Chains A and B, each alone.
Chain A
């Protein structure tokens, strides 16, 4: 597993096609990963590179000629897409391994300092900060069979933070304190929070007024975005012994009324968005399904196979 990228290099800008990118994790609230523009057709070389102080786990997002991302050096960055020059950086109190969302001139980003930041997209100035109840990694005794059995270990593979999604004038994101939060995008005031049984580092997807996300408590949830009330929940696999094959680390995608989510129980699930009823599952043969193609390096054995139709 190699996620350490000390230098972010934007190759897409060197391609012959027009470059329109995302302003939110996986391109939009549903996380479908569908973009309005064609992908790169040809590679002509690296145009620029932008060094940071540590690895970059966050995905870059684009809005109005600027690229935004978080760094594990604790900064949120805005970089000029054409030149690679730094437009601004804003220091947070911890690593920022989540993907920012850009909406209404604001950049929303989450940091390991337990805060959601709303920054002005042009200047990086702070509009507001929202503090959660605390941040932590998923942890368990005898995790992955690590010795001694009675000691609690933090999961070394829990490297992401929840990426915020912006919809209905609210910012939605998960937290290590087990909550999914809904925060007013303009004021930073809490609208509601929904408590799960463990860490929520998956990024919620939003479709038709409903939020979809999984928790490390092995449940996948559908929550009414306006009220914060639970609509349904789906139970993934359990692994009470070594906690290796348990928990939703993956971020879901919603397409045509079907929610697709991976799980560390090695299953890829397709669930009916309206009811949570399982349509099908794909067994990845004991290998975690913790994200989509963007994180394919984290699959133990990536296999591309045709999946059943949703």
Chain B
């Protein structure tokens, strides 16, 4: 009898340890008159913080990054970074608890509204990581200047690209018009001379290709729905 109890307790503990919340969880969110399928990937790489991403097919969300992830023995919560958020509605949060073996349930929360969800574990996690900045080639590093016009007013752009010790590049993008804007750039990539800068906070992107023959970057500056040609020329 003692032996049987020992095995039952042991196996329960092993299952609990194995099912720490990491995995692919599939289910649906129920809002009035509609149900959205939902897929959440959660993982905790050894010795590191939790990471996660979410797919909501009916809402056009694929691989959105999860932030503020908290997982413990009884419950979990996280926020979707960026996707589905607006100034009016705020960010989307998930709060829930374990509802049995391989099942999570809880509420999808936004702007004071709540919608229940139920998820079942279907396999190992397939967390989609956000794009990371890369280093830039030596022919891109340095200071560049260019001009574009928006609504009839000239804008002067200064871009400084620098490789950091981390291996990724950083960028300083200053746009001078009626006022001076120092755009916080959170993504810099150099894909064989194709430069991409993104400022999620300001909704600005710049994409351009380095032209070695003319020593400039020919590209497009995008601000919201405006797409403006912008050629940057090296100053250093």
User: Known contacts A6-B37, A52-B62; is A86 also within 8 Å of B57 by CB?
Assistant: no
Kindly state whether residue B35 has any CB partner on chain A within 8 Å: no
Q: Which residues of B contact A9 (CB under 8 A)?
A: none
Asked if A51 CB lies within 8 Å of chain B CBs, one says: yes
B128 to chain A: which residues have CB within 8 Å?
86
The reply to whether B55 and A129 form a contact with Cβ atoms under 8 Å apart is no
Min CB distance, B184 to chain A, in Å? 20
- In this complex, the interface size class of chain A, counting residues with CB under 8 Å from chain B, is 20 to 34
Residues in A with CB closer than 8 Å to B55 are: 51-53
Q: Verify B191–A74 contact, CB threshold 8 A.
A: no
- For residue B27, CB closer than 8 A to chain A, the reply is no
A74 to B61, CA, bound (A): 10
| Known contacts A52-B55, A53-B62; A126 and B126 CB within 8 A of each other | no
- Chain B 20-42 interface 0/1 with A at a Cβ cutoff of 8 Å (1 = within): 00000000000000000101000
Contact A73 to B62, CB < 8 A, known contacts A51-B39, A51-B57, A125-B191: yes
Residue of A nearest to B192 (CB): A125
CB contact under 8 A between A128 and B194, given known A6-B57, A53-B56: yes
In whole angstroms, what is the CA distance A54 to B58 when docked? 6
- The answer to whether A54 and B126 have CB atoms under 8 Å apart is no
Q: Would A53 and B191 be within 8 Å (CB), given that A86-B126, A126-B207, A129-B207 are in contact?
A: no
Identify the closest chain B residue to A72 (Cβ): B60
- B162 interface residue (CB < 8 Å to A): no
Contact with A6, one of B58, B192, B194, B227 (Cβ below 8 angstroms): B58
Q: Is A144 an interface residue (CB 8 A)?
A: no
Which chain B residues lie closer than 8 Å to A7 at the CB level?
57
Q: Beyond A86-B126, A86-B128, A125-B191, is A75–B62 a contact (Cβ under 8 Å)?
A: yes
B125 to chain A, nearest CB (A): 12
Assembly CA distance A102 to B56 (angstroms): 29
A53-B59 in contact given A85-B126, A86-B126 (Cβ < 8 Å): yes
State in angstroms the CA–CA spacing of A127 and B194 once bound together: 7
CB of A247 closer than 8 Å to a CB of B? no
Interface residues of B in 1-60 (CB under 8 A from A): 37, 39, 55-60
Q: Does B106 contact A (CB under 8 A)?
A: no
Please report the C-alpha to C-alpha distance between residue A152 and residue B220 in the assembled complex, in whole angstroms. Answer: 32
Whole-angstrom distance between the alpha carbons of A72 and B59 in the complex?
A: 11
Name the one of A53, A85, A89, A120 contacting B57, with C-beta atoms under 8 angstroms: A53
- Hey, which chain B residues are within 8 Å of A75, CB to CB? 62
- A89 to B60: give the CA distance in the assembly, Å: 14
Q: For chain B residues 190-232, which have a beta carbon within 8 Å of chain A? A: 191-192, 194, 196, 207, 209, 220, 227
Residues of A within 8 A of B209 (CB): 128
In angstroms, Cα B191 to Cα A71, docked, is: 23
Q: Closest residue of chain A to B54, judged by CB?
A: A53
Contacts of A73 in B (CB 8 A): 57, 60-62
Measured in the bound complex, the distance between the Cα atoms of B207 and A131 in whole Å is: 13
A1-39 vs B: 1/0 string, CB under 8 Å? 000001100000000000000000000000000000000
**Interchain CA distance A86-B55 in the complex, whole Å:** 13
Given A7-B57, A54-B60, A128-B194, 4 more A-B residue pairs with CB atoms under 8 Å apart are A53-B61, A75-B62, A125-B192, A126-B191
Some 16 contacts from A to B, beta carbons below 8 A apart, are A51-B57, A53-B60, A53-B62, A54-B58, A73-B57, A73-B60, A73-B62, A86-B63, A86-B128, A89-B62, A89-B63, A125-B191, A126-B191, A126-B207, A127-B194, A131-B227
Closest 10 CB pairs of A and B: A53-B62, A125-B191, A6-B57, A53-B60, A126-B194, A73-B60, A54-B60, A51-B55, A73-B62, A53-B61
